[in-house]
Copies of this chain bind each other. A is one copy, B any other.
Amino acid sequence: MASFETAPMSSAGGSATPIIGVFDSGFGGLTVLRALVARLPDARFVFIGDTARLPYGSKSRRTIARYAAQSAQFLVQEQGAEFLVIACNTASALALDAIQAAVTVPVLGVIEPGATAARAASRTGDVLVIATDATVQSHAYAAASRARGLRALEKACPLLVPLVEEGWTDHPVTAEVIRVYLNELNAEAAAAGLNPDTLVLGCTHYPLLRPLIEGAVPAGMRVIDSAEAAAEAAVLQFGGGIAHAKSSGDQMTSMELRCFATDSVEKFERLGSRFLGRPVGKVELVDLGG
Contact = CB atoms under 8 A, between A and B. Distances in A.
Contacts of A14: none
Given A177-B173, A290-B289, A59 B166 contact: no
B52 A63 contact: yes
Interface stretch (A2-10, A156-164, A185-193, A241-249): A156-164
A59 B264 contact: yes
A290 B264 CA distance: 17
A159 to B, nearest CB: 5
Contacts of A263: 59-60, 63
Nearest to A161: B162
A250 interface: no
Contacts of A146: none
Contact of A159 (B51, B52, B162, B267): B162
* Among A59, A165, A267, residue most surrounded by chain B Cβ atoms (within 10 Å): A59
Give the number of copies in the complex: 2
A50 to B, nearest CB: 11
Contacts of A290: 53, 289-290
Interface in A152-185: 158-159, 161-163, 165-166, 168, 172-173, 176-177, 180
A176 B159 CA distance: 14
A264 B58 contact: yes
Contacts of A166: 158-159
Nearest to A52: B63
Contacts of A54: 58
Interface string A54-70: 10001110010000000
A216 to B, nearest CB: 14
A176 to B, nearest CB: 6
Nearest to A288: B290
Nearest to A162: B162
A52 B54 CA distance: 9
Going nearest first, the 3 A-B pairs with the smallest beta carbon separation are A290-B290, A162-B162, A63-B263
Given A63-B263, A158-B162, A159-B168, 17 more contacts: A52-B53, A52-B59, A52-B60, A52-B63, A53-B53, A53-B290, A58-B264, A59-B263, A59-B264, A60-B263, A60-B264, A158-B166, A159-B162, A172-B176, A173-B176, A173-B180, A289-B289
